[in-house]
Amino acid sequence: MSARTELLTIERTLPGARLDTYLRDKFPAVSRGAIQRLIEQGHIRVNDCVVKPTHTPRAGEQVRVSWPEASPPEAHPEDIPLDILYEEDALIVLNKPAGLVVHPAAGNERHTLVNALLHHCGGQLSGIGGVARPGIVHRLDKETSGCMVVAKNDETHVALSTQFAGRKINKIYHAIVCGEMQREQGEIRAAIARHSSHRKRMAVDDDLGREARTSYRVLERLTGATLAEAILHTGRTHQIRVHFQFLGYPLVGDRVYGNRQNLRLAELTGYRAPRQMLHAFQLAFIHPRMGRRRSFEAPLPADFLDALAALRGVGNRRPNDE
C-alpha cells in the first residue's frame, strides 16, 4: 500500500546515466540506497514496467514513484546522553561523539544516535528518512566526531536536504594527518567511487567516480604529522579520508586508508591514535524558518586534544606565527 504517488516525465535522454542517480537528484532528501531498494521492490516503475537501478533514463519515459507507507518503527528510544549545541522546535544541532553510529543498520541495531534522538525528542523527528533514520539529514562516520544537524519535521528536512544537495551548507573539519604537509594550502579535485575490490572502501576513480572537491590549509605542523583544516565542497562517502590519502597524507588513526603510514608514525613518536582524527568543527546553513544563516562550532574532543599534545614537539609552530 502506498502513502502517495508521484509521476515524472523524463525530458531528455541521459546517456551513461542511471535511473537511481537521476532520481537521487530529484529527491535529495532520500538516500540513493533507499531509491535503489524502492526500484528493486517495484515501488518505482518506468512506463509501468519494473526496471533495474542501472536503467538509462530516456526522453519521454514516465517514472511512477509510489512511496510506501511507513512500517512500524524498528528503532527504539534509548536514554543515551547527547551533547546539544542548539535546539528548537524545527531542528537540533549536536556534537556527535566518536564511536557513536548515526542510525541503525546491520550489526548496529541499537545504541545509535537515532535511538538517543528518539528518547530525547519524544518521537518529534522528520519521517522522510524512513523508520530507521528519523530526522537524519546527513551523516558522519562512526569514528568521526563533531557537528550534525537533525530535522524535527519534514518541512525542515526537505529544506536542509536541498541545501546539502545544492552545496549551500558550509562544512569545515579539523583533521590530523600523517606526514608533514609541504603546501600551506591547496585544493583536491579527484572523483570518488566505490573501491573495485573492497566494497566497504572508497577510492579515487576518474572514470567511474563522482565529482569530489576538498579545500585545505595547514593550521599547525606537528612531529611527523600535520593539523589541517578541510572544507568540503561536495559530500562523498569518506571524502576527506580518501582525498588526504590520495595526497599521501592519510588521517592519523585511519587504519583503513593509512595503516602503513600510521605504523610509521607510531614508530617515530610512540603515539597510536584510538580512532581516525577527524572532527566536524563547524556547520553553517540557512535556517529554514528564520531565513538567515546560522553557524555552529563543536569544540575539539578530549582524544583529539590528546593527539595534538602527543604530536607537538619543541619548535612546532603555526603557519601564521611568523
For residue range 209-234, what is the model confidence (pLDDT) as tens digits?
Answer: 999 999 999 999 999 999 999 999 99
Angstrom distances, CA of residue 185 to CA of 59, 169, 214, 317: 44, 21, 11, 16
CA distance 17 to 95: 37
Above pLDDT 70, what percent of the chain? 92
Which one is catalytic: 141, 205, 206, 321? 141
Note the pLDDT of residue 45: 94
pLDDT at position 72 over 50? no
pLDDT band at 74 (very low <50, low <70, confident <90, very high): low
Note the pLDDT of residue 28: 74
Could you tell me where the DSSP H helices lie in the chain?
Answer: 19-26, 32-40, 113-121, 154-165, 239-247, 259-269, 302-311
Among 27-31, 177-181, 306-310, which is the least confidently predicted range?
A: 27-31
pLDDT band at 2 (very low <50, low <70, confident <90, very high): very low
pLDDT band at 314 (very low <50, low <70, confident <90, very high): very low
Angle ∠(75,285,25) on CA atoms, nearest 5: 70
**Pairing mode, strands 225-232 and 170-178:** antiparallel
Q: What is the pLDDT of residues 115-134, one digit of tens each?
A: 999 999 987 888 877 767 88
Note the pLDDT of residue 39: 92
Give the mean model confidence (pLDDT) for residues 5-33.
86
pLDDT band at 322 (very low <50, low <70, confident <90, very high): very low
**Chain-wide mean pLDDT for the chain?**
90
Structure pTM?
0.77
Q: Is 91 helix (H, G, I), strand (E, B) or coil?
A: strand
Angstrom distances, CA of residue 95 to CA of 16, 73, 92, 237, 299: 40, 25, 10, 20, 8
pLDDT band at 254 (very low <50, low <70, confident <90, very high): very high
pLDDT at position 315 over 50? no
Q: Is the Cβ–Cβ distance between 271 and 265 less than 8 Å?
A: yes
Give the mean model confidence (pLDDT) for residues 232-238.
93
Give the mean model confidence (pLDDT) for residues 6-30.
86
141 is catalytic: yes
CA within 13 Å, CB half, 242: 26
Among 5-9, 29-33, 184-188, 203-207, which is the least confidently predicted range?
A: 29-33
